[in-house]
Amino acid sequence: MIDIIGAGSLGLLFAGRLAATGTDVRLWTRTLEQARSIACDGITVFDKGGEIAVHVPGDTLKVAPLADWQRLNSHAPAQWIFLMTKQGAIEEVLKQILPVAKTERETGIVCLQNGIGHIERIRQAWPEAELYPAVTTEGAKRQGAASIVHAGAGVTEIGWYEERGKTQDRNFKQYVLNRLLAAGFDVCLSKEIENGMYRKLLINAVINPLTAIWRIRNGELLLDPVRLHMMRKLYDEGIQVYEARGIRWDSSWWDQILNVCQATAENHSSMLADVLAQSMTEVASINGQLVQMAEQAGVTAPTHEVLWQLIEGMRLKEG
């Protein structure tokens, strides 16, 4: 069984496609209302053309609010967890699951958060767990509590360290990896996942804040020279920070950013969605992280810092 914590766009995409191919999935939501909606309606994944690509009936799904984790896991402990919440929710998730998790053996966690720094926090809180850092370029847009549009197929990289040679790692290949491949995900194991995380950090740091500020879809970034200029400015600042920190980067990353904008042209970035909902964004974990890395290296990232502050201020409600 695979436990997916977080029923946002990616959580619904992975849960729906895994369940549709016969994987035993438990989906954990933030609210009881969403759990009830999914239990009633199932999960529907639409393709970009609006056609149903996957539908999993609600009566074939196991879904519950995370608040029920301790009660339900006492009967069926989690072995494989896909942590698919935002960085800002990690502490609350750990608070809910650790009282039971500490009694479980050989738990593996695939961590699919944007930004950096979360792996260290999870490892410190739960040193017994085996962590698999991961990044994905899958594009998904939530339509409702139980449905999403799969807006762009991508690649999912999962960190792999063969020198560990543990039984858990062998089980991961035999069960989790094969289940993902059977569900149609393009998955690869990477010995250089840290580099992949820094690449994804830069992609998000360029695309997300600009779409949130201008309130435009990803593809609209490419339609105006002023927007492209700002993208390049953010990119160049990020590369300067990476060079100052001794982080390897590749000149192809700029083209990858443009390709992501094209592949997810009709998408609202998650940061824009949060701004529109007046919710907390991940800007501190993305642009804020780059600013902090710059300070530690003795350089500056002024454009990232301004966007960080502007977007943090946008969630403050007036009146």
d(C-alpha 33, C-alpha 52), whole Å: 24
Q: Look at residue 52 in the predicted model and tell me its pLDDT.
A: 95
Minimum mean pLDDT range among 52-61, 98-107, 179-188, 286-295? 98-107
- Tell me the mean pLDDT in the region 87-103: 82
Higher pLDDT, 38 or 151: 38
Within 8 A by CB and 6+ apart from 177, the residues are 158, 187, 189
Q: Look at residue 154 in the predicted model and tell me its pLDDT.
A: 86
- 117-132 pLDDT tens trace: 899 999 998 888 889 9
CB atoms within 10 A of CB 254: 16
- 157-175 pLDDT tens trace: 999 876 555 666 678 888 8
pLDDT at residue 139 greater than cutoff 90? no
Average pLDDT, the chain: 90
pLDDT at residue 319 greater than cutoff 50? no
- 194-247 pLDDT tens trace: 999 999 999 999 999 999 999 999 999 999 999 999 999 999 999 999 999 999
Q: Look at residue 164 in the predicted model and tell me its pLDDT.
A: 54
pLDDT at residue 182 greater than cutoff 90? yes
d(C-alpha 204, C-alpha 191), whole Å: 22
Q: Look at residue 307 in the predicted model and tell me its pLDDT.
A: 97
Query: Mean pLDDT highest for which of 31-40, 149-158, 173-182?
Result: 31-40
Domains, the chain? 2-191 (3.40.50.720), 194-314 (1.10.1040.10)
**What is the percent of the chain with per-residue pLDDT over 90, rounded to a whole number?**
66
Q: Which amino acid is at 62?
A: K
Q: Is residue 86 within 8 Å of 49, Cβ to Cβ?
A: no
φ, ψ of residue 189 to 5 degrees: the values are: -90, 135
Per DSSP bridges, beta strands 25-29 and 139-142 are: unpaired
Minimum mean pLDDT range among 41-45, 143-147, 199-203, 261-265? 261-265
Q: What angle (nearest 5°) sits at the alpha carbon of residue 73, between those of residues 65 and 23? A: 80
| Secondary structure in 3-state letters for 238-298 | HHHHHHHHCCCCCCCHHHHHHHHHHHCCCCCCHHHHHHHCCCCCCHHHHHHHHHHHHHHHC
pLDDT at residue 136 greater than cutoff 70? yes
- Tell me the mean pLDDT in the region 257-271: 89
Residue holding tokens 């939501």? 29
- Tell me the mean pLDDT in the region 73-82: 82
Q: Look at residue 170 in the predicted model and tell me its pLDDT.
A: 73
Q: Look at residue 115 in the predicted model and tell me its pLDDT.
A: 83
Pick from 20, 2, 12, 13: which is nearest to 153 by CA? 13
Which neighbouring-strand residues pair with 310?
none
pLDDT at residue 187 greater than cutoff 50? yes
Higher pLDDT, 316 or 100: 100
Does the model's pTM come out above 0.75?
A: yes
